[in-house]
A = this chain, B = another copy of it.
Amino acid sequence: MEGEPTRIMLAVNQSTIKGYPHASISSSRAFEWTLQKIVRSNTSGFKFLFLHVQVPDEDGFDDVDSIFASPDDFKDLKQRDNARGLQLLEFFVNRCHEIGVACEAWLKKGDPTEVICHEVKRVQPDFLVVGSRGIGRFKRVFVGTVSEFCAKHAECPVITVKRTVDETPEDQVDD
């Protein structure tokens, strides 16, 4: 029953509290859950595909204290963004390396929901794991949830893994 490993795509993002390079609570939780409950000791039976989608900072809020004096400064900015995304992915790749599970990781820019569904179509994983903040219906109207959209639209089976109660920050929207 072995053969090709089961390819698990995991969409990961950064912490809203600690920022880059820290992974969000729900990404970390989804990853650890998958290791414990699905991969277990069968490390050669699975391969992780980590996707991090960076949302372009349309407002430029992150950069209010930066000084832009030449076109190169903007180039630096892009490079810094990429570097941050790569640091986030590095965390997951390192964990896989420690455990001995194969993996690949890549970075995309855009709207996470669209990009994740598009990447599922392109790389055809066996299933997709997404972490969820597990926020209530009222808050959901305002913040939207990537996990719900993916569960509905991604062209492969999707597992949504919620944070545990003791991991949930005071403001549920934080992650």
Copies of this chain assembled into the complex: 2
CB of A33 within 8 Å of the partner chain: yes
Of the candidates B35, B40, B157, which one forms a contact with A45 in the assembled complex, judged by CB atoms under 8 Å apart? B40
Residue from A38, A45, A161 with most neighbouring chain B CB atoms (10 Å): A38
Separation of A36 and B161 alpha carbons in the complex (Å): 21
Q: Number of A residues contacting the other chain (C-beta, 8 Å)? A: 22
Contacts A151-B151, A157-B162, A159-B159 given; indicate if A40 touches B37 (C-beta within 8 A): no
Which residues on the B side are within 8 Å of A40 (C-beta)? Answer: 1-2, 6, 42, 45
Which residues on the B side are within 8 Å of A33 (C-beta)? Answer: 157
CB of A126 within 8 Å of the partner chain: yes
**Of all chain B residues, which has the CB nearest A148?**
B152
Separation of A161 and B151 alpha carbons in the complex (Å): 11
Give a binary string over A112-145; 1 marks a CB under 8 Å from any B CB, 0 the rest. Answer: 0000000000000011000000000000000000
Does the CB pair B159–A41 fall under 8 Å? no
Does the CB pair A36–B157 fall under 8 Å? no
Which positions in A face B, CB cutoff 8 Å? 1-2, 6, 33, 35-42, 45, 126-127, 151, 157-162
Show 26 residue pairs from A and B whose CB-CB distance is below 8 angstroms, ordered by the A residue: A1-B35, A1-B39, A1-B40, A1-B41, A6-B37, A6-B38, A6-B40, A33-B157, A37-B126, A37-B127, A40-B42, A40-B45, A41-B42, A41-B45, A42-B42, A42-B45, A127-B159, A151-B151, A151-B160, A157-B159, A157-B160, A157-B161, A157-B162, A158-B159, A158-B160, A159-B159
